[in-house]
Amino acid sequence: MAGHSKWANIKHRKAAQDKKRGKQFGKLIRAIESAARESGTGDPEMSAPLALAVQKAKDADVPKDNIERACKRGAGELDGAAAYEAATYEGYAPGGVAVLVDVLTDNRNRTAADVRSAFSKAGGSLAEPGSVSFLFSRRGQVLIEAAGVDEDELMMAGLDAGMEDLESDGERFVAWCEATDVADLRTTLESAGYRVVESGSTMVPASTVPVGDPGDAKKVLNLLDVLDDHDDVQEVYANVDLSDDVLAVLDA
């Protein structure tokens, strides 16, 4: 899971540096509209997927009015909602790195062509459905601000609410759980006084692929960035493992 975590940190730093809030907001709003449309309601309390989409938008500081309008558009209470289709593309980046790409699109042909082009330009290729996804499993995670937090106390607070594991990168704790337990775990930790930064689910690789060549590593990260930057792409997952030495070369 080292590669997964490192790329998550790279994405986190990049997002903080680039301030791509407008694009991020657009993707979160799209996810809310899609969840509301699928569930047939604009009330997050009536739909777990909608509640998760709304919470993710709140964590990213999307304005409350924007969230409420998105809920209503998706539920058909306001005009202007597009009919988004969810799809997942699977492929390989240079070095044999497996990549999953989750999208919400109103034009599947356009999105498929764009994703295929991104893989091709990076020296990778799309794969048949099922050829990559079996390498990943969905898990829930709750990210907690680490300042002033005792790890043992945090673990005890979360065990009864489904916490399975706890990791730290120094700035944040990541509490892992089943994807279905995210909301309960978050509520429990917040009630215990912990500062939750973000929560949701992610795809975690069963094993990672080390990429020791800086040239290939750069191609992999460029591909992930290009995909992540696409308007239709909601999430990108990869089982890449980059050593600290390779990351240092890339940073330089």
Give the list of residues 6+ apart from residue 245 with CB closer than 8 angstroms, or none. none
Query: What's the pLDDT at 248?
Result: 84
Span(s) in the chain for CATH 3.30.70.980:
85-134+207-251, 135-205
Architecture in CATH of 2-74 = Orthogonal Bundle (1.10)
pLDDT at 82: 82
Q: By three-state DSSP, how is residue 78 classified?
A: coil
Q: Within the chain, which residue ranges are assigned CATH 1.10.10.200?
A: 2-74
- Tell me: the pLDDT tens digits for 96-134? 999 999 999 999 999 999 999 999 999 999 999 999 999
**Number of other CB atoms surrounding residue 45 within 10 Å:** 9
> Under a CB-based contact definition with an 8 Å cutoff, are residues 50 and 37 in contact?
no
Q: Over the stretch 160-219, which tens digit does the pLDDT of each residue have?
A: 899 999 998 888 999 999 999 999 999 999 999 999 999 999 999 999 999 988 889 999
Q: Tell me what pLDDT residue 86 has.
A: 94
Residue 18 scores a pLDDT above 60: no
Q: Quick one: pLDDT at residue 8?
A: 52
| The pLDDT of residue 1 is above 70 | no
Whether the predicted pLDDT of 87 surpasses 60: yes
What is the distance between the alpha carbons of residues 156 and 250, in angstroms, rounded to a whole number? 39
| Yes or no: domain 85-134+207-251 corresponds to CATH 3.30.70.980 | yes
List all residues 6 or more positions away from 102 whose beta carbon is below 8 Å from its beta carbon.
86, 87, 88, 233, 234, 235, 236, 237
In CATH, which superfamily holds the domain spanning 135-205? YebC, transcriptional regulation domain (3.30.70.980)
